[in-house]
C-alpha cells in the first residue's frame, strides 16, 4: 500500500489549545479520507510553541537548532500540510508567521496545504483569506479552496458543531484529493548544484530574484 506523509503545524499557545483541537480534527479527517483512498498515512505534528525560542534564534543567526531542524524537515518532507493558527490582531500569530519565515522559501512549492484558524469571534474568519492564503500563495503552495475557521460558537454543540464538522470534512476531502493525485514529495537538496559551470558563468543558470 502506498504511503503518504501528513504534517500538522499548530501555533496555539495554551494547553489545551483550541487551535490544536481543530488541527487534530482536520488531521484525523484527512487521514480517514486518505485511508479510504487506499493510502497509509504517517502523521507528524509540529507544536510551534515548543520551538518558540529556536525560531527567534534562527531569525537572529540564520540556522536552526537540531530540534527545529527536525520540525522543518518534517514539514519539508510532508505530502500534505495542515497549518492552523490563532488569529491575533486580524492576522496569523507572529510565531506562526515566523515559523514559515524560517522554512526554506521553496519548500512548499506545489505542496497541498489546508489553512485553518481559531479566533475569539467569528468576525475574524476572513483573516484566513486575507492573511494566510496570500502567504501560502506567495510560497506557491497548492492551498485547497476550503479554509476552516472555528469560533467559540463552533465548539458549543448543536448546529454550529455540525457546521464545523461539515467544513472540516469538506476541506479534508479537498486536501486528501490533492495529496492523492501527486507523487510522494521529494524535498529539495539545498546542496545540489542546479546549473552547470557554463550556465553559472553566463548567468543563465541562476534563478535570482
Instruction: Name the site residues for another protein (rule: CB under 8 A).
Output: 56-57, 59-63, 65-66, 190-193, 195, 197-198, 200-203, 206, 208-209
State in angstroms the smallest separation of the CB of 188 from another protein.
12
183 or 198: CB nearest another protein:
198
The verdict on whether omega for the bond into residue 16 sits within 30 degrees of 0, i.e. cis, is: yes
How far is Cα 150 from Cα 85, in angstroms, rounded to an integer? Answer: 11
In this structure, what C-alpha cell is assigned to residue 158?
Answer: 448543536
State in angstroms the smallest separation of the CB of 50 from another protein.
15
Asked if 118 and 84 touch (Cβ cutoff 8 Å), the reply is: yes
61 or 157: CB nearest another protein:
61
DSSP annotation of 125 reads T
State in angstroms the smallest separation of the CB of 105 from another protein.
13
- Alpha helices (H) along the chain: 18-36, 52-61, 66-76, 94-102, 127, 133-138, 158-180, 197-202
70 or 90: CB nearest another protein:
70
157 or 191: CB nearest another protein:
191
Phi, psi values for residue 6, rounded to 5°: -115, 130
Q: Burial-class residue 52 by CB neighbours within 10 Å (0-12, 13-18, 19+).
A: middle
52 or 126: CB nearest another protein:
52
CB-CB neighbours of 161 under 10 Å:
13
State in angstroms the smallest separation of the CB of 208 from another protein.
4
State in angstroms the smallest separation of the CB of 28 from another protein.
35
1, containing H or E segment: none
77 or 173: CB nearest another protein:
77
Asked if 175 and 114 touch (Cβ cutoff 8 Å), the reply is: yes
State in angstroms the smallest separation of the CB of 74 from another protein.
17
Amino acid at each position: 500500500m502506498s504511503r503518504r506523509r501528513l504534517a500538522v503545524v499548530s501555533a496555539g499557545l495554551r494547553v489545551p489549545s483550541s487551535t490544536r483541537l481543530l488541527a487534530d480534527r482536520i488531521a484525523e479527517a484527512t487521514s480517514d479520507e486518505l485511508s479510504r483512498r487506499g493510502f497509509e498515512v504517517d502523521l507528524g505534528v509540529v507544536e510551534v510553541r515548543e520551538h518558540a525560542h529556536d525560531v527567534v534564534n534562527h531569525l537572529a543567526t540564520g540556522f536552526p537548532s537540531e530540534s527545529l531542524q527536525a520540525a522543518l524537515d518534517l514539514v519539508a518532507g510532508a505530502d500534505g500540510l495542515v497549518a492552523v493558527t490563532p488569529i491575533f490582531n486580524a492576522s496569523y500569530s507572529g510565531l506562526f508567521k515566523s515559523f514559515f519565515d524560517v522554512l526554506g522559501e521553496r519548500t512548499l512549492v506545489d505542496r497541498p496545504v489546508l489553512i485553518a484558524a481559531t479566533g475569539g469571534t467569528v468576525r475574524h474568519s476572513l483573516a484566513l483569506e486575507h492573511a494566510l492564503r496570500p502567504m501560502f500563495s506567495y510560497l506557491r503552495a497548492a492551498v485547497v479552496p476550503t479554509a476552516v475557521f472555528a469560533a467559540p460558537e463552533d465548539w458549543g454543540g448543536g448546529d454550529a458543531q455540525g457546521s464545523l464538522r461539515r467544513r472540516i470534512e469538506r476541506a479534508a476531502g479537498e486536501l486528501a484529493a490533492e495529496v492523492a493525485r501527486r507523487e510522494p514529495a521529494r524535498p529539495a537538496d539545498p546542496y545540489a548544484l542546479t546549473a552547470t559551470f557554463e550556465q553559472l558563468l553566463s548567468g543563465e543558470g541562476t534563478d535570482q530574484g
